[in-house]
Amino acid sequence: MRNHLKQAPAEADWLLARGRRGVGYKIAAEAALAWYRTRGAGDGIDNARQQALAELRLQMLGDAGDDDGLLLTGKQRYEEFKAGEAELVYRQSIGELCRVADIEGETVNAVIELRRQLQAIGPTIRRRFALDREVETAIDDLIAEKLKQFVDKLDVDVDSDDTG
């Protein structure tokens, strides 16, 4: 309400004393409320203008955003963005979120090490059991096929997952 009182005319009869640094406003409540309501009557024009701008934005951008977002001013959009950004920082700080880049490198290194160890199985089995080269090749092919399936499964984009 303080912001509305700051915009009040200086000679308003209902404004008994203006507030300043620690001193509150003194007003005649009924008269101030009447002023506030008459001042709010102009909001119909503002609402109509906002609706017209929202309609224009919808025509220009198509169905690019949610209906509530079309009515927001630039400042309101900025404040929503900052609030969302603060939420992300908070959720990351409590361990609820992590950055893809933070875990991507570790995952790649783990897969490379897994591949290296699994590809050594074929020659090891061949030597231990004195098997033919064809058995080693068959084991290597089977491991390579399973590794390819594993890597393909890891490479799926999270956004395209239909489970959530």
Q: What is the pTM of this model?
A: 0.40
Location of structure tokens 């169905």: 63
Alpha helical stretches, state H, 94-132 = 100-119, 121-129
- Residue 122 belongs to a domain: yes
Give the pLDDT mean for 145-150.
92
- Residue 119 belongs to a domain: yes
Domain match, 116 and 154 both: yes
* Mean pLDDT of the residues in the chain: 79
Structure tokens at 140: 């290597």
pLDDT at 68: 64
Structure tokens at 148: 């390819």
- Of 54-58, 104-108, 139-143, where does the model show the most confidence? 139-143
pLDDT at 70: 61
Number of domains in the chain: 3
- Residue 61 belongs to a domain: yes
Task: Give the model's confidence band at 77: pLDDT under 50 very low, under 70 low, under 90 confident, else very high.
Answer: confident
CA distance 128 to 124: 6
CB 97 within 8 A of CB 121: no
Domain match, 149 and 113 both: yes
- Residue 137 belongs to a domain: yes
Domain match, 106 and 141 both: yes
Give the pLDDT mean for 90-115.
85
Structure tokens at 64: 């690019």
pLDDT at 164: 41
Domain match, 105 and 134 both: yes
Q: How far apart are the first and last CA of the chain?
A: 43
CA distance 12 to 27: 10
- Residue 163 belongs to a domain: no
Q: What share of the chain is helix, strand, coil (3-state, %, to 5)?
A: 70, 5, 25
Domain match, 104 and 153 both: yes
- Percent above pLDDT 70 for the chain: 78
Task: Give the model's confidence band at 158: pLDDT under 50 very low, under 70 low, under 90 confident, else very high.
Answer: low
- Residue 164 belongs to a domain: no
Structural domain boundaries enclosing 52: 48-93
**Nearest in space to 87 (alpha carbons), one of 74, 97, 77:** 97
The answer for residues whose C-beta is within 8 angstroms of residue 136's C-beta and 6 or more apart is: 122, 123, 125, 126
- Residue 34 belongs to a domain: yes
pLDDT at 117: 94
Task: Give the model's confidence band at 124: pLDDT under 50 very low, under 70 low, under 90 confident, else very high.
Answer: very high
